[in-house]
Amino acid sequence: LDPVGVPKNLKGTAIPFNAYIQEACTFKTILSIGGGGGVTCGDFCPRDIEMFGLGIPVIKPRYVAELADPLIPDVHYISVDVEFDAQYRYANHEKLSQAIAKRHLEVVQNSNMLDTVAANAREWYTRNLVEPNITLNLIKALEL
């Protein structure tokens, strides 16, 4: 590993953003675990936003972050229960990976649930992050 934690054999192999989006659109669900270490590494991940905007259901550990317009488990994303240690890092990676796999298998063939979660996430994205809503929400939050 190099100093930032990227395996040396993967350096320079990033795919272009358009190819990333095209590939993401081929999946029924997308896994998002933020920085991978728990809340301290990023509870709310840019991948979440990208997938909400595309209308692709995200499966992830239950959010800890609270937002002005809440993201509701199993409404806006497919939630996986997780245990945290005292620093809000994932307490048991093996248990978490098993819980993610189990949850995926529970929902992957449930087209109605996947479609509903995807539509709800897309609606949340539009309401909060599409112009002019993002600007209006910021003005409101700042009481300008």
Burial class (CB in 10 A: 0-12, 13-18, 19+), 80: buried
Find, among 121, 130, 97, the residue nearest to 44 by Cα. 121
Chain-centroid distance, C-alpha 21: 14
Retrieve residue 128's tokens: 């909060």
Percent of the chain with pLDDT over 70: 85
Name the DSSP letter for residue 68: S
pLDDT at 39 over 80: no
Q: How many Cβ atoms from other residues are within 10 Å of residue 95's Cβ?
A: 13
DSSP 62: P
Taking residues 29-44, report their average pLDDT: 72
pLDDT recorded at residue 83? 85
In this prediction, residue 1 carries a pLDDT of: 39
pLDDT in tens, 108-122: 999 999 999 999 999
The overall average pLDDT reported for the chain is 86
Segment 62-96, tens digit of pLDDT: 888 888 899 999 999 999 988 888 877 788 888 98
Q: How confident is the model at residue 27 (pLDDT cuts 50, 70, 90)?
A: very high
